[in-house]
Amino acid sequence: MTVHAQNAKINLDVDRNNLYREDSVTDIKVAAIRRLTPIKADGSDDHNRDSIFMGQTQLISPSGPILLQSLLEAKTLEEAMDKFPAAMQKEMDKAIAQAEKEQQGKGK
C-alpha cells in the first residue's frame, strides 16, 4: 500500500464533542502546567465537563533534553501546582527505570 493510500484512510475530522481551550502557566524555572478547559463547538465553556491539568518539565541529560509530563489529578490550578512535584518525580523515576532497562539490554 502506498503512503498516499494509507494517509487517505486516516480520519482527520475534529471531534466537536471533545474540544478544550488551552491555557499555560509557568514559573519559568521547572514547572509548566497546562489547563485544558472544556468548551462547546461554539467556543463557550462546557460546564458539564471538568478541566484537565497537565504538568510538564524537562531534564537535561548527556543525550539531550528529556520531556516529562503527567496528568495532574486536580480540580483547580492551586491543586495542580501542589501535585506537580510528586507527579514529575514519579515520571522521572519511570524515565530512569526505562533508561536503566535499555542500558541492561545493550550490555547483553
Residue 84 has pLDDT above 80, yes or no: yes
Count of domains for the chain = 1
Residue 105 has pLDDT above 90, yes or no: no
In a domain, 2, yes or no: no
d(CA 65, CA 99): 13
In a domain, 26, yes or no: yes
In a domain, 21, yes or no: yes
**Which phi and psi (to 5°) does residue 25 adopt?**
-130, 135
Q: Kindly report the pTM of this predicted structure.
A: 0.81
Mean pLDDT computed over 96-104: 87
How many Cβ atoms from other residues are within 10 Å of residue 35's Cβ?
A: 19
Lowest mean pLDDT among 19-28, 42-51, 93-102: 93-102
Q: Which cell is 45 given?
A: 465553556
- The pLDDT value recorded for residue 63 is 82
- The pLDDT value recorded for residue 32 is 98
Q: What is the dihedral of CA 87, 89, 93, 99, to 10 degrees?
A: 100
How many Cβ atoms from other residues are within 10 Å of residue 55's Cβ?
A: 23
In a domain, 1, yes or no: no
Tens of pLDDT, residue by residue over 27-79, are: 999 999 999 999 999 999 999 999 999 999 999 888 889 999 999 999 999 99
d(CA 79, CA 58): 21
Range of the structural domain that residue 88 is part of:
13-97
Q: What is the dihedral of CA 24, 83, 89, 62, to 10 degrees?
A: 10
CB 40 within 8 A of CB 46: yes
